[in-house]
A and B are shown apart, each in its own frame.
Chain A
Amino acid sequence: MPLAAWVILAAALFSIGLYGVTSRRGAIGILLSVELMANAVNLLFISFGRYRGDHLGQVFTLFAVALTVAEVVIGLALVILLHRVRRSDVRVDEVKELHG
């Protein structure tokens, strides 16, 4: 099994996530896409670690997973706050207070 196959798979996953992040309108939709991208990166770590022949990739993935969880927690808290302020579906393009 060539390593290139795994890497291209991860790249495809990442690109799909990127598409989601840039096209979704809802905050939760964007969060889901970010999860996809993070997942692609984790897959990349594991693949490279496997072909290196040691545990370093797995260690790093473990840390990255924990980081992602923290990010999801904060992201969802923000979404809930936004929902309370807006009393609506959380559509990010409705939040324009920072426009110039």
Chain B
Amino acid sequence: MIDRIAFGVVALLLLLSALRVVTSKNLVHSVLWLGLTLVTTAGAYLLLSAPFIASIQILLYTGGVITLMLFGVMLTRRGEDIAIPNESSEGGRALILSLATFGLFTGAVLKTPLPQEAPPFTGSTAELGREILGPNLMAFEVLSVLLLAAMVGAIVIARRRDPGSQRPSLGLRIEAEAKSQEGKS
């Protein structure tokens, strides 16, 4: 009984905050609502007996991604004013599409025989660690390479100038190109 109440609370919070993420007029608010969504998801993970993933969710997403997003918002805003617009448009087709998708998935779920009760869970974080660094070590290592590549890529894209070189960075060159195009037209 108690898990059903917990599920209801989590589900309600999750859906409400998610809706505010996509409807809020202020971009900063959207980001903050996303933070709430992610934290609530961590709660859902706890309900699903995944405490390690829940803590990762809070540390990485809420601590990292949300901060990053806020940086992004602040770095790209125009004007001094704190209310940063987050506009939507042509909601019609988007609404129809998302509702249709939801209907489709729900229909598929209801048609599929899924277990009613979760089996008793005996796992532990130590076992999860062995799982990751044992059979899935290869994927883990590949992922680390991917993260490195993403880091290098982000720096190359966003940097202003290559150190020790007179050549402007890729970003600035694209910028200059765009300006010369404007000048021509």
Query: Do any beta carbons of A and B sit within 8 angstroms of each other in the complex?
Result: yes
Across the interface, do B65 and A70 meet the contact criterion of CB distance under 8 Å?
Answer: no
Known: A18-B101, A20-B22, A77-B158. A4 touches B119 (CB 8 A): no
Q: How far is the CA of A67 from the CA of B150 in the complex (A)?
A: 10
Q: Which parts of A8-33 form the interface with B (CB within 8 Å)?
A: 8-9, 11-20, 22-26, 28-29, 31-33
A89–B77 CB distance below 8 A? yes
Q: Is the CB of A18 within 8 A of B98?
A: yes
Complex Cα–Cα for A51 and B120 (A): 9
Chain B residue at minimum C-beta to C-beta distance from A53: B119
CB pair B147–A66 under 8 Å, yes or no, is: yes
Known: A9-B14, A17-B22. A23 touches B4 (CB 8 A): no
Q: A11-B102, A28-B76, A53-B119 are in contact. Are A59 and B131 (CB under 8 A)?
A: yes
- Which single member of B18, B91, B122 contacts A16 (CB below 8 Å)? B18
Closest to B103 in A: A15
B91, A85: Cβ atoms closer than 8 Å: no
In the complex, which residues of chain B have a beta carbon less than 8 angstroms from the beta carbon of A6? 7, 44, 48
Residues of chain A with a CB closer than 8 A to B19's CB: 16
Which residues of A have CB within 8 Å of B163? none
Task: Looking at the assembled complex, report how far the CB atom of B11 sits from the nearest CB atom of chain A, in whole angstroms.
Answer: 5
Q: Which residues of A contact B (CB under 8 A)?
A: 1-9, 11-20, 22-26, 28-29, 31-33, 35-36, 39, 42-43, 46-47, 49-51, 53-56, 58-59, 61-63, 65-74, 76-81, 83-85, 88-91, 93
